[in-house]
Structure 1
Amino acid sequence: MASDGNSCCTKDSTESSHPFGVDDILVKIGQFGKFQRLIYPCIFCMVIFTSVISLGFAFTASRVVYRCRIPECDGLENSYEKSWTEFSIPKTLSGQLDKCHRYRSSNSSSGQNSCNLESFDRVAETNCGEDFIFRDREITISNDFKIFCSDEWKLAMVGTINNVGKFFGIFLGGFISDRYGRRFVLTYGSLMSAVLGSVRSFSPNYYVFVTLGFLDNLFGATLYPTVFILGLEIVGPKVRVVAGTSIPFCGGIGGFLLALAAKNFQNWRWIERVFYFPALGFIVLPWIMPESFRWLLSQGEEKRAVEILQKAARINKRKLSDVSIEKLLQSNRQSLASAGSDTKNSKFPIVEAFKVFPWRIVICLLCWFTNVMVFYGLNLNLDFLGGNKYNSFMFVSLIEIPGILLPFLTMDRFGRRRSLFGYMFFSGIFILAMNYVNSEFVSLQLALYLLGKMTITASYQTLYFFTSEIFPTSVRNSLLSFCSMIGRFGSMVAPLTPLLANYYASAPAILFASCAILFSSMALLLPETRDMVLPTTLQEAQNIGQKEINAELDAEEELLETTT
């Protein structure tokens, strides 16, 4: 999963005069000592849990493969694949057995039914009713709550409703985290999600299931941004990039474990219980997870912050002098006073940003929507590949790991803009190419699909960096949150895309590919931020693109002078 907060790797223009801060303390007491190493397993478990919250519906609410029960032919030992289905059940355009229709029986109402070619009128079709034969032994809410045929849209709505809950949860988590602390959000958010998920595994009907799913995602959406921020706040500057990269790795591992559990249990109730029951253990977080000392200092709670820093020094077997603590507190008091003054005199609200560079914001919003839709859409449209959906989901989850690493190899060499363009463009090309590969070449289809997922993951990761760099400090968090909010609409659309396959099998792939290719070119219209100091004001942010244009004009003038 692409991660928040990656802008930690760049430098702000306000850092030229460096006051004594928390990073200086961490250098003294250990940037990633035993204290941090004891906390990080909890962080990793939390991220794995958030992956299950986000993607669990891919298995619990997935469609099952079924056909009509044919009383004339089906006996006591029923199985999905029978030779007589060739003349008793029509086929879809993709060559699969029609799930909801059968040929009308031509047997006389008197006498015993027979099962042969003459027994069915292959011109007249009729509905199955509510009697079906299933291909696999898996139990999802589809066959548990009798959601078949014309009601299958309800299955797609599960993911959309979950993401609506996540949409509101992101704002809820940000507000509560800044007001009441990181540990508060992680404790109550994880516990509420664990309780709701556990109760949901006993849902008696569809409506209870989706209601609890909405609430689960409402609370669960608060976890990832908060745990990511906490993970960055407790480590020193030299290991922050590595730490910030290791956290989203666990998102891919979480998807892998989810598919592994689904493959072995194949019952939606037990898939939920195997993850949500153990998550009830997060109730112990207040005793093992310290509050962020950075957040405590930002709230003026100096005593609690110092106690945690001294505890970290003891666990890391380092010394923390009273002089260092006093310098930290003095610097923090000055920062708080300055921040209070800046807040009162702020002249750079988000509305002003829209007036200064509206197209920059619009392009970012389109890129966010596309990246999120394609990223999650590829997790939910594994029917493209055929074969074993559990194994395919494992591959798609694990391929996120190299996708997270790729931007670190290209952003400094080729720049943010070209990297974003290239990853989005090639993701669309890979998905489009996969769509036109003959279904007999399963390995090639899988390879192209995984390349598409890897490159859109790299694009998503690059987009986090890019968005945080092209906007000024005064509105950076607000605009990053706004872009993430628009991205949530992409994750709401993604669960609905499998429905398009009912009308045209390749429709989801074409949608993903065309959006990725189309909007990738718009990324080239954004200003390049490689090797640039982060802007503080709107004017500085606007000048990023202007400086680039001026440099190009100067180069053209020099070329003209040399030729004349």
Structure 2
Amino acid sequence: MQDYDQATSFLGEWGRFQLTVFFLLSASIIPNGFNGMSVMFLAAIPEHRCLVPSTANLSEAWRNVSIPRQLEDGAESKCRRYKLDILSNYSAQGLIPGLDVEVGGIEQETCLDGWVYSKDLYQSTIVTEWDIVCENDWKGPLTTSLFFAGVLLGSFISGQLSDSFGRKKILFATMAVQTGFSIIQVFSTSWEMFTVLFLIVGMGQISNYVAAFILGSEILGKSARIIFSTLGTCIFFAIGYMLLPLFAYFIRDWRTLLLALTFPGLLCIPLWWIIPESPQWLISQGRIEEAEAIIRQAAKANRVTAPAVIFKTNQLEDFKSRQQKRHTFLDLMKTNNIRIITILTVFLWLIISIGYFGVSLNTPNLHGDPFINCFLMAAIEVPSYIIAWLLLRTLSRRYSMCGTLLLGGIMLLLIQLVPLDLHILSTIMVMVGKFGVTAAFSMAYVYTSELYPTVIRNMGVGVGSMSSRVGSVISPYFVYLDAYNKLLPYILMGSLTVIMSILVLFFPESYGKPLPETIEQTPNVKGLCCRRQNKNDTIRKSSKL
């Protein structure tokens, strides 16, 4: 049976058609880099303290001491002030703070009149607009988590929609959702409205990414497909990520910034007339003439001659018969071997996602300029993707994953040993930590797809991806721990990453081995369970002899 790649091999690997699809689909992912990390600036928390209204009857001396100092660092409190009625009474009596009255003994109160926010870095954010600080600071991580919850929901439905309506239609429909609801978000009148719209934007963001990924994987040839899946989508996402701090540096108002970040999505509209539908999906729907028409247009673009008949009838019948056999998610637990692989896959994607998004979202808490720090955290992803690609081409999957995870985890753990005044060294260690976690993240897609047999490969990768989305929902709360101890997020993320680097050694090796086709061909997991399974297999073979 001649498969799709063989039937279209006359096109070549890197003709004009493939290059056009490669770069345009990769470019369509750039806005995902904007939306995925924009919350760092949209929901940034400037320096703030309680507002002391001008109507308060206070002398200049009493106004200067109206905000208590924190015991741990001597900085002004962000959430408390001395009771203004008491201060006004002392001021009216002509008493002098510190001389006639011991200020520290005066009763305190919450910020009843709101807050004053520093405008050194930001003119406005959603935090300053709706006072998401102090007793309302729980809304900050929840805002980010709801965006990633939308990503989780989108990953649930994007695959089914793409299978039912086509890769191209869902790609552009979800780009429209991402862009359209981001524009509506600019006009939010409350935090509740902003977060609901943010959730919908998250649904469009992941659906757009997945649709572009699948479409490119199905249109491109085998060698082009590997580069597209590792370098194309990942690096263009990183480009969008790197452009984010550039936009944020020049635009300090959150509404204007969001509108500017949304505009590039409109530039993708002309791609509708350039990017074709997936011929493989059209064949699965019985639309053979349309699939052949696309292949012939590709041949014309590549200046090659297409055969008179591209897809033979007997090949299509065989293809359809294979499509009829369906598998369910229960098959991921069918045997002891596949069950352990699934459990390890869930933990792998969950922990990598917590590390990646936790480090990324914690960037504003690093010492130094947040715009430069964000750019550096984005830029480090480019070499990490290249290294991951090289490792996938040359070395063992298990040891490559273990090495990159171990590097990332150890760097994050060692940050606590760096003296507090060596801020540059701390930032470098965080960057190296993210380098390792990002490289492991990009390799996880390829490794997971190689572990699962063909009949349940999509479901296996889907379960891993779902686990990743759960990790992204949790990650903002790791960042939230920074309020209690600045090193605590790194200690937790580093510990989990190091543990996972050890667990990944229990995965079977897939480098240089043929992909399994059936559940029975799934490679054995390293460990006691599989020794027992191998022993049973030996006994069965001996009995047959």
TM-score by length of 2: 0.87
Deviations 1:187-243 (A, max 9, x none): 111112211000101101111101111111122221111101222222222333222
Contact 1:474/1:536 (<8 A) preserved: yes
Distance 2:487 2:424 in 1: 18
Contact 1:364-1:483 within 8 A present in 2 as well: yes
* Post-superposition CA distance 1:464-483 (Å, at most 9, x none): 22222222222221121112
The question of whether the paired residues in 2 share the 8 Å contact of 1:92 and 1:98 is answered with no
- Alpha-carbon RMSD across the aligned residues, in angstroms, is 3.1
User: Is residue 519 of structure 1 aligned with residue 500 of structure 2?
Assistant: yes
| Aligned partners of 1:87 and 1:120 also within 8 Å | no
- Structure 2 vs 1, CA of residues 117 and 459 (structure 1 numbering), >3 Å: closer, same or farther? farther
Partner residue in 1 for 2:543: none
Alignment pair present for 1:136 and 2:119: yes
Task: Please name the residue that 1:291 is paired with.
Answer: 277
Structure 1 distance, partners of 2:453, 2:65, is 65
Q: Does 1:89 align with 2:71?
A: no
CA distance in 2, matches of 1:94, 1:428: 30
- Evaluate the alpha carbon distance shift between residue 71 and residue 173 of structure 1 in structure 2; reply closer, same or farther with a 3 A threshold: closer
Counterpart of 1:404?
385
**Aligned-residue offset at 1:331:** 5.7
Which segments of 5 or more consecutive residues in structure 2 lack a partner in the other structure? 536-545
> Hey, what does 1:66 align to over in structure 2?
48
Query: Which residue number in structure 2 is paired with residue 178 of structure 1?
Result: 163
Check 1:542–1:377 CA distance in 2 against 1; reply closer, same or farther (3 A cut). same
Secondary structure of the 2:408 match is: helix
User: Match for residue 242 of structure 2?
Assistant: 256
Distance 1:231 1:320 in 2: 21
Alignment map for 1:271-310 (pairs within 5 Å)? 271-310=257-296
Identify if the C-alpha distance between structure 1 residues 87 and 185 changes in structure 2 by more than 3 Å, giving closer, same or farther: same
Letter in 1 for 2:68: I
Equivalent residue in structure 1 for 2:154, among 169, 193, 196: 169
CA-to-aligned-CA distance 1:247-284 (integer Å, 9 cap, x gap):
21011111111121111101111111012134234444
Equivalent residue, structure 1, for 2:464: 483
The C-alpha deviation readout for 1:480-509, integer Å capped at 9, x for no partner, is 111211221110011122221222222211
1:519 Cα shift?
2.3
Q: Structure 2 residue aligned with 1:338, among 312, 315, 321?
A: 321
- 1:111-143 CA distances to partner (integer Å, 9 max, x unpaired)? 568677767612444333334332234111011
- 1:270 counterpart = 2:256: yes
Give the Cα–Cα distance (whole angstroms) in 1 for the partners of residues 332 and 307 of structure 2.
46
Aligned residues: 523
Q: Which residue of 2 aligns with 1:246?
A: 232
Which stretch of the first structure deviates more once superposed, 263-272 or 124-133?
A: 124-133
Give, in whole Å, the separation in 2 of the partners of 1:542 and 1:38. Answer: 37
SS at match of 1:126: strand
Specify the code of the residue in structure 1 equivalent to 2:405: M
| 1:200-219 equivalent positions in 2, closer than 5 A | 200-219=185-204
User: Residues 36-55 of structure 1: matches in 2 within 5 Å?
Assistant: 36-55=18-37
Q: Which residue of 2 aligns with 1:147?
A: 132
Aligned partners of 2:494 and 2:44: how far apart in 1?
A: 23
Give the direction of change, closer, same or farther, for the CA distance of 1:347–1:218 in structure 2 (3 Å limit). Answer: closer
Quick check: 238-247 or 194-203, which moved more? 238-247
Q: Is the 8 A contact 1:375 1:457 kept in 2?
A: yes
Q: Which stretch shifts more, 57-66 or 298-307?
A: 57-66
The structure, 1 or 2, with the larger RCO (C-alpha pairs under 8 Å, 6+ apart) is: 1
1:496 to 455, 467, 477: 477
| Counterpart contact for 2:216–2:228, Cα < 8 Å | yes
Normalised TM-score (structure 1): 0.85
Corresponding position of 1:8: none
The amino acid that maps onto 2:77 is: D
Residue aligning to 1:32: 14
- SS of the aligned residue for 2:116 comes to strand
- Consecutive unaligned residues of structure 1, counting only runs of 5 or more, are 1-18, 555-564
Measured in 1, the distance between the counterparts of 2:378 and 2:520 equals 41
Task: Find the counterpart in structure 2 of residue 421 from structure 1.
Answer: 402
Distance 1:354 1:549, change over 3 A: closer
**CA distance in structure 1 between the aligned counterparts of 2:373 and 2:109, rounded to whole angstroms:** 35
Q: 3-state SS of the aligned residue for 2:513?
A: coil
Alignment of 1:439-478 (within 5 A): 439-478=420-459
Which deviates more, 104-113 or 437-446?
Answer: 104-113
Give the secondary structure class of the aligned counterpart of 1:386.
Answer: coil
Question: 1:348 Cα deviation (Å)?
Answer: 9.1
Gap change, CA 1:169 and 1:121, over 3 Å in 2: same
Residues 351 and 413 of structure 1: CA distance in aligned 2, closer, same or farther (over 3 Å): closer
Within a 5 Å distance, the mapping from 1:537-552 to structure 2 comes to 537-543=518-524, 545=526
Q: CA deviation at 1:45?
A: 2.9
Q: The residue matched to 2:304 in structure 1 has which SS?
A: coil
Q: Which amino acid aligns with 1:541?
A: T
Residue of structure 2 equivalent to 1:434 = 415
Contact 1:35 1:315 in 2 (8 A): yes
Is the Cα–Cα contact under 8 Å of residues 415 and 487 in structure 2 kept in the other structure? no
Q: By how many angstroms is 1:315 displaced?
A: 2.0
**Greater Cα shift, 93-102 or 421-430:** 93-102
Stretch of structure 1 that moved more, 297-306 or 111-120 = 111-120
Q: 2:170, 2:511 → 1: CA distance?
A: 35
* Residues 547 and 407 of structure 1, relative CA distance in 2, 3 Å threshold: farther
Q: Secondary structure at the match of 1:318?
A: coil
Q: 1:275 to 1:331 in 2, by over 3 A?
A: farther
Q: Distance in 2 between matches of 1:332 and 1:118?
A: 96
Residues 442/334 of structure 1: CA separation in 2 closer, same or farther (3 Å cut):
same
Q: Give, in whole Å, the separation in 1 of the partners of 2:132 and 2:96.
A: 30
Q: How does 1:226-241 map to 2 (within 5 A)?
A: 226-241=211-226
Moved over 6 A (4+): 84-87, 112-120, 546-550
Q: Which residue of 1 aligns with 2:539?
A: none
Deviations 1:86-108 (A, max 9, x none): 99531364665421124567571
Assess if the C-alpha contact under 8 Å between 1:228 and 1:247 holds in 2. Answer: yes
- 2:29 counterpart SS class: helix
What code does the residue aligned with 1:132 have?
W
In structure 2, what is the Cα distance between the partners aligned to 1:413 and 1:188? 39
Residue identity opposite 2:274 in structure 1: I
Aligned match of 2:540:
none
- 2: distance between equivalents of 1:348 and 1:214? 26
